[in-house]
Amino acid sequence: MEAKPESYKLIFEKEGVYLHTNAKRSNQDTTIPGFIRIVERDGEPAMEWSPVEEDVRNAPAVFYAKKDGEGGEEETKFDPGYEPDWAVISTVKQERRQEHPPVRETGQWGSFSLPLSELYSLRRARFSLGRNFLVMTTRGGDPLPPLHFHRGGTRELLKAMQRYIRLAPSPMDGRLFLAYPHDSGALSQSFDELHLFDDTSADLVSRFIQDPYATTFGGFSKVTNFFRGALRHPESPLGNRSPQDAHFPHSADEEPGFELITCGAELGPRPEVKRGKPLDNWDQFLDPEGRVTDPQKVKELVFRGGIVPSLRKEVWKFLLGFYPWNSTAKEREDILQGKTDEYFRMKVQWKSVSEEQEMRNSLFRGYRSLIERDVNRTDRHNSFFSGNENPGLTLLHDVLMTYCMYNFDLGYVQGMSDLLSPLLFVTQNEVESFWCLTHQNFEESQEAMKQQLLQLSLLLRALDPELCDYLDSQDSGSLCFCFRWLLIWFKREFSFEDILNLWEVLWTRLPCENFHLLMASSILESQKEELIGSNHDFNSILKHINELTMKLDLQSILCGAEAIYLQLTNCKELSLKVQEVLGLHVPSSSSEESTNSEHTETDTLLAQSEARGASSCQPFNGQTPQRSPTYP
């Protein structure tokens, strides 16, 4: 029995849609021109992209015959594409058969097809280059590269898509639109996407008592917006906007000074910030028994200007929790003795391992090998660690080996030597430096690192949506190029002396526990003009960020980070998510819920987990964070 031929109908077609590759291959360009189409195959609409090269090799596979006059040829005149940018985030059921494999699945830059019934959302984006882009991902986790519309056409593409799906604005993000089929069933299934009262119950009650009208009608306004989009004709422009709306251009070849809708509150002016003098008098803060009389004042002075080198050895031990702030000089002697005994008990354990035992313990052998390799290349330019027979290298090795015995499940992770060397340089004592080496970034699950990258993304999107959109368009929206910054606290971005100053500032936890994320935001904002103006792609963004090493001015970055904090905190309509990152808002929830960190709201649209309250990314020995710092 002959197979029934597949019916095919071309609805929309646009050329000049480029795929920007991430790898600079010697024999190929990093931009690949292609075609975008909306087609019907056996009555099912789909969006397809294919490169021009494939069209040339196999014309019938791409240049489909147009039927019934639909999808007629577009004018051949050049279309610069000055219109609002759009990013499409879509999902495809994993079990659905794909006629064209995802671009990256095969390692080749080939065509792909996405059924419109599986489209989950549209994300609006814009950056100053004037190009539109579509970013697609599948539910199965197969990311596709951004498609850049060099000659416009996104408006017409979206109108063609509206024939088959309805786009409703997301209540979670003003730039996002949820895609639904044109049927009433989808309407009822979509109410859970509205999150009418998406706060925790305790917080909802609190807000209702304070302002019942705003709380109630704030939720029902989402219903109004939802139905307004649901009842709009499929051929009409997106969401609840009219064709005359400035956010939706009148034609594909003009840029009518449209206004960009941001997904956050308008930020006020950024204040000017100046640094202060370092802490240079320690004795004035000690009472006759050696207690620190005003820990908050000490932290404020350190945050404002750091510590003079001669006092670091003593003050650092308080900042890092080695000594309690309210301990007397006699109590500190007892603490030091107890910690010294415990350290050397652990050190004796690995020192007593014989060669025969080590040969039977591959894990221990692996840790030692990694440590020896990293010790030999950590801060060798510093006199404390230079030379082959330097005792500083021996101390660095011994502290790291002892840490393996202290936490054998974690063992040694690359980067620990970078965090230890400044501690050892200042204290010049293996016991004190060991107990000051407390860091959560090296946990095996990397949950702390994932959380910090998500929080950094939240901050940057609130500060500069344009920069975020550009990074998204270059597959860099995950901010993975900032991983090293956060892992070892900018250790390789600044000089050794600058790192001593930076870390003591961060250890104060002022003005918030996540000040290092504000530092990262400040650096990224300072590089915005270079990143966007030079049209960097994924690889060149990573290269540019790595080449910032030793080129950044620490004091300028610190001033910028503090100014960002003040600018955000002065915004009365700052989102709760950002407030949580800054420590300005703690979600009202039971202790059990706070402990297990369950995600009560999952934003599948952006694959972003909830920010876990105001918990620090970098807790040091359980010190209590300062929520409302004052400045000297």
By residue range, what is the domain housing residue 373? 328-439
Query: Helix and strand tally (H, E) in the chain?
Result: 24, 10
In a domain? residue 221 = no
> CATH no. for residue 487?
1.10.472.80
Question: Quick one: which of 628, 631, 627, 623 has its CA closest to 319?
Answer: 623
539, 559, 582 — which closes off a domain? Answer: 582
Number of domains in the chain: 3
Cα separation, 624 vs 439, whole angstroms: 16
Q: Which helix (H) or strand (E) holds 11?
A: strand 8-20
Percent of the chain with pLDDT over 90: 44
> CATH no. for residue 43?
2.30.29.230
pLDDT, residue 319, reads 97
**Does one domain contain both 368 and 422?**
yes
Cα separation, 533 vs 382, whole angstroms: 37
Question: Quick one: which of 123, 131, 136, 127 has its CA closest to 175?
Answer: 123
**Does one domain contain both 401 and 430?**
yes
Cα separation, 135 vs 477, whole angstroms: 11
Instruction: Assign 220 to helix, strand or coil.
Output: helix
Rounded (5°) CA angle 612-617-622: 100
**Does one domain contain both 487 and 555?**
yes
Question: CB–CB of 513/448 below 8 Å?
Answer: no
Residue with tokens 């050190």: 347
- What is the token pair recorded at 289? 């028994």
Question: Angle 362-375/391-406 helices, nearest 10 degrees?
Answer: 150
In a domain? residue 11 = yes
Peptide bond into 295 cis (omega under 30): no
CB atoms within 10 A of CB 540: 16
pLDDT, residue 131, reads 64
pLDDT, residue 4, reads 61
pLDDT, residue 253, reads 37
Residue with tokens 């974690």: 410
Question: CB–CB of 579/585 below 8 Å?
Answer: yes
**Does one domain contain both 434 and 460?**
no
In a domain? residue 321 = no
In a domain? residue 286 = no
**Does one domain contain both 3 and 150?**
yes
125, 159, 182 — which closes off a domain? Answer: 182
Taken as a whole, the chain contains a residue count of: 632
Question: CB–CB of 567/503 below 8 Å?
Answer: no
**Does one domain contain both 505 and 520?**
yes
What torsion do the CA atoms of 142, 143, 147, 148 make, to the nearest 10 degrees?
Answer: -170
- What is the token pair recorded at 514? 């996540």
Hey, what amino acid is at 252?
Answer: A
In a domain? residue 539 = yes
**Does one domain contain both 17 and 134?**
yes
pLDDT, residue 159, reads 83
**Bridge-based pairing state of the strands 112-115 and 44-51:** antiparallel
Instruction: Assign 203 to helix, strand or coil.
Output: helix
**Partners of 115 in the beta sheet?**
46
pLDDT, residue 222, reads 45
Question: CB–CB of 435/451 below 8 Å?
Answer: no
Question: Quick one: which of 133, 117, 114, 124 has its CA closest to 239?
Answer: 124
**Does one domain contain both 403 and 528?**
no
> CATH no. for residue 424?
1.10.8.270
- What is the token pair recorded at 358? 């080590």
Cα separation, 535 vs 601, whole angstroms: 36
Q: What is the CA radius of gyration of the chain?
A: 29
Cα separation, 252 vs 132, whole angstroms: 11
In a domain? residue 265 = no
Cα separation, 409 vs 405, whole angstroms: 9
166, 182, 198 — which closes off a domain? Answer: 182
Q: Which residues of the chain have pLDDT under 50?
A: 23-28, 56-108, 127-129, 184, 186-202, 204-263, 590-632
pLDDT, residue 273, reads 95
pLDDT, one tens digit per residue, over 111-155 is 888 888 787 776 666 544 456 676 666 655 555 667 777 777 777
pLDDT, residue 29, reads 54
**Bridge-based pairing state of the strands 121-124 and 86-89:** antiparallel
Question: Quick one: which of 137, 132, 147 has its CA closest to 19?
Answer: 147
Hey, what amino acid is at 550?
Answer: M
CA 560 to chain centroid, in Å, comes to 19
In a domain? residue 615 = no
Give the C-alpha distances (Å, rounded to integers) separating 173 from 138, 311, 465, 570.
Answer: 20, 48, 12, 21
In a domain? residue 289 = no
DSSP 481: G
Contacts (Cβ under 8 Å, ≥6 apart) of 382 = 421, 425, 496
**Does one domain contain both 146 and 17?**
yes
**Does one domain contain both 541 and 560?**
yes
**Does one domain contain both 346 and 492?**
no
Burial level of 593, CB count in 10 A (0-12/13-18/19+)?
A: middle
Cα separation, 418 vs 178, whole angstroms: 45
CA 193 to chain centroid, in Å, comes to 23
Peptide bond into 269 cis (omega under 30): no
**Does one domain contain both 522 and 451?**
yes
